[in-house]
Structure 1
Amino acid sequence: MVSQVSNSTNSANVSKNKSVLGKDDFLKLMITQLKNQDPLNPMDGTEYAAQLAQFSSLEQITNLNEYLKQSIDANYMLTQSINNTMLANLIGKEVKVNSNEIKVNGQENFTIGYELPDGVRNVKVNIYNEYGTLIKSIEAPNTKGSNKLLWDLNDNNGEKVANGNYKFEVIATDFSEKAVSVTSYVTGLIDGVKYTEDGTMLLINGVQYSAGDILEIINKQGG
């Protein structure tokens, strides 16, 4: 009777603190069970052997999980190291980036890119300042496939825009004046690679982009 009460009490204490028993908890329960067993009615040898087998299995599984975790962590670190080295080799290359952000910081122009399907009649590129105000509308080429538009950084009044952050959207319609889906992007040279808490970032046209935003590497440095 003492054994049953003690076991229930210890189990309850463990349950309050943990939702899953680890191998240390399991061993503590076994030891407590042995200490508090009724001398006149000791634990059955078969039952004790079964509990030892359970403990052995639990320890093996715990050790295997720890090994797998260490292996996964090591593989992740190795992959990150390889990726960082490869990304550093991209410095100086021109790329397409999945983004509609523009950062003006003293440059003379900015290249906007977009992909068009067949059957597009009209294309317009609208550019907005950081407050969402439309500052420039440009009639753009409607050629099927990849297109580039060079914005001279002038607004609709012909004045140079101030340094800052801007966004653009590409609006396309077909011959029935229905909207057509367009894939837009920016192009530029990779100026540098920056390692942050959010992962490896690429510096392109003065803007940070995630490596996952790269759509295409256009050419090699000096190519």
Structure 2
Amino acid sequence: MVTDVNSSGSVNTNANVSANKSALGKDDFLKLMIAQLKNQDPLNPMDGTEYASQLAQFSSLEQITNLNNYLKQSVDANYMLTQSINNTMLANLIGKEVKIGGDSIKVAGQDSVTLGYDIPDGVKSVKINIYNQYGTLVKTIEAPNKKGSNFVDWDFIDGNGNRVADGDYTFEVNAYNYNNEEVEVTQYKSGPIDGVKYTESGTLLIINGVEYSSGDILEIINKKGGDS
């Protein structure tokens, strides 16, 4: 540490305290005060009022430092508590049926996946097109057109009757009214939560053998509606 004491015996607090520090900590502040007392001119001692003022500054600095430490500990404790509560709540969802957002399908050895969609009244026909990772159509499913929520199981069989290879796929639900106009559709996947996995990057839910984050869940449902 470099201590800059001027001719009057007072310490220059603008001095370079450390090459790696841009602000004074309470320990640095105390060391400066001690150095100031050691190096003061006996014939011209530091004014008592000035010294009392510096002591008050040190006391305030220490209180602020302690408060910051307390707040950090409090935030860390609250974060751990929140994580523990969230993990417990997610574990209680095992066995619940959920809707999962997105149009992606991951085939990884499981037997099937449930595709879902919501449609309004007056829909004449619904088709579900399934594409591989290269955008090639591998399967078209004629789907139910009942108003509300509908679910269709895809057993990973393509249009030629063969099981598709494991990998990434996407699906698209197309609905048309009686005027052959396309109708807006909300699509998702559905399945029961089979397990919960805790990782460093967050908690994952295992659904149909695939891992999803809790943010992918759109809705928790009691049981499937519509046709399957």
Please confirm whether the aligned pair reaches a TM-score higher than 0.5, indicating the same fold. yes
- Identity in percent: 72
AA aligned to 1:3 is V
Can you list the C-alpha shifts for 1:110-167, whole angstroms capped at 9, x where unaligned?
Answer: 2112234567676543323234433223354455542323223222333221233322
* TM-score in terms of structure 1 length: 0.80
Contact conserved, 1:103 with 1:205, CA < 8 A, in 2?
no
Contact conserved, 1:114 with 1:184, CA < 8 A, in 2?
yes
Any idea what SS the aligned residue of 1:159 has? coil
In 2, Cα distance between the equivalents of 1:12 and 1:120? Answer: 78
Query: 1:136–1:26: structure 2 CA closer, same or farther, 3 Å change rule?
Result: farther
In 1, Cα distance between the equivalents of 2:23 and 2:36? Answer: 19
Query: 1:100–1:51: structure 2 CA closer, same or farther, 3 Å change rule?
Result: same
AA aligned to 2:83 is Q
Query: 1:30–1:166: structure 2 CA closer, same or farther, 3 Å change rule?
Result: same
In the other structure, the counterpart of 2:139 is 136
Shift of 1:196: 0.2
Query: Gaps spanning 5+ residues in structure 2: where?
Result: 224-228
Any idea what SS the aligned residue of 2:63 has? helix
Query: Gaps spanning 5+ residues in structure 1: where?
Result: none
Answer 1 or 2: which has greater helix percent: 1
Q: Which of 95, 103, 116 is residue 92 of structure 1 equivalent to?
A: 95
Query: 1:12–1:166: structure 2 CA closer, same or farther, 3 Å change rule?
Result: farther
Any idea what SS the aligned residue of 2:5 has? helix
In 2, Cα distance between the equivalents of 1:26 and 1:179? Answer: 71
AA aligned to 2:5 is S
Q: How many residue pairs are counted as aligned between the two chains?
A: 217
Query: 1:34–1:191: structure 2 CA closer, same or farther, 3 Å change rule?
Result: same
* TM-score in terms of structure 2 length: 0.78
Can you list the C-alpha shifts for 1:19-56, whole angstroms capped at 9, x where unaligned?
Answer: 33221222222222223333333222111111111111
In the other structure, the counterpart of 1:37 is 40
Superposition RMSD in Å:
2.9
Can you list the C-alpha shifts for 1:166-219, whole angstroms capped at 9, x where unaligned?
Answer: 222335577685674x43321111111111011111111111111222222212
In 1, Cα distance between the equivalents of 2:91 and 2:27? Answer: 46
Deviates more, 1:28-37 or 1:122-131: 122-131
Deviates more, 1:91-100 or 1:105-114: 105-114
Query: 1:22–1:160: structure 2 CA closer, same or farther, 3 Å change rule?
Result: same
In the other structure, the counterpart of 2:21 is 18
